[in-house]
């Protein structure tokens, strides 16, 4: 099947001085280029997921990188037969992902990361390089975990991310002494989650760099069960970054 549509997902925690002006600039660019998708502009950073023909999508990514402080913005790529968004919109919000903990500021301090290939190696062995047991912690909502997750991952059945801090507090003792790897779809939730756990004194916590999508892109998807839920018309992606329908 021909896969002519480029799908880009990108985020970066970095202060945006004037969210409303930035929203207007990006909205005009996206409409002129004809891409479809959603961009969130917040005081703590940008989050974008959009799709279209390759050339306008890469130009839109360049426009995002032109926002002051976002030259280093990295994007995860996948391809599809059609555009999985109906329209283009740019929204201003208070947080990229709501957590209701203003002390968690990823732009100021990033939690340690583990890259996809290293994580796959650890999971092959059953421990990290120091010999510690590795615990995979799903920071997504329960319905997302039901679509697919890492083998033996902890899933606290949260229904929204604002419930995550309370869940950590309830299970904190069970995580002590283990290497905890927080993960989510693209990296946003697990980045905030890892910082919060460090704040609680769980210092051996890492975030999966780039989330599930980057893990799929850089490994063969081993140790993953099922599909990855995505918030567009594709609904779920297999480890080869194609939707189940396209795999059939």
Residues recognised as catalytic: 184
Q: Where are the alpha helices (DSSP H) in the chain?
A: 19-33, 54-65, 116-125, 142-147, 164-175, 188-199, 211-218, 244-247
d(CA 8, CA 51): 6
The number of beta carbons lying within 10 Å of the beta carbon of residue 52 is: 24
Strand, coil or helix: 118:
helix
DSSP state letters, 60-120: HHHHHHTSTT-TT--EEEEEESS-S-S-EEEEE-S-SS--S-TT--TTT-PPPEE-HHHHH
């Amino acid at each position: 099947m021909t896969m002519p549509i480029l799908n880009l997902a990108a985020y970066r925690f970095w202060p945006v001085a004037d969210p409303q002006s930035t929203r207007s600039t990006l909205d005009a660019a996206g409409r002129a280029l004809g891409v479809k998708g959603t961009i969130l502009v917040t005081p703590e950073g940008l989050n974008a997921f959009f799709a279209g023909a390759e050339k306008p999508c890469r130009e839109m990514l360049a426009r995002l990188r032109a926002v002051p402080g976002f030259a280093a913005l990295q994007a995860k790529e996948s391809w599809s037969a059609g555009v999985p968004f109906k329209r283009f919109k740019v929204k201003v919000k208070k947080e990229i992902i709501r957590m209701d903990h203003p002390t968690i500021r990823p732009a100021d301090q990033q939690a340690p990361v583990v890259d996809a290939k290293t994580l796959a190696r650890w999971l092959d062995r059953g421990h990290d390089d120091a010999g510690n047991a590795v615990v995979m912690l799903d920071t997504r909502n329960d319905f997302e975990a039901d679509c697919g997750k890492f083998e033996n991952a902890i899933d606290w059945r949260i229904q929204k991310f604002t419930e995550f801090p309370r869940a950590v507090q309830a299970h904190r003792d069970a995580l002590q002494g283990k290497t905890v790897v927080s993960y989510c779809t693209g990296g946003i939730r697990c980045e905030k989650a890892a910082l919060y756990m460090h704040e609680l004194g769980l210092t051996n916590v890492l975030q999966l760099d780039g989330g599930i999508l980057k893990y799929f892109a850089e490994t063969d998807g081993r140790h993953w069960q099922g599909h990855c839920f995505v918030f567009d018309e594709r609904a779920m992606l297999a480890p080869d970054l194609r939707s189940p329908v396209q795999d059939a």
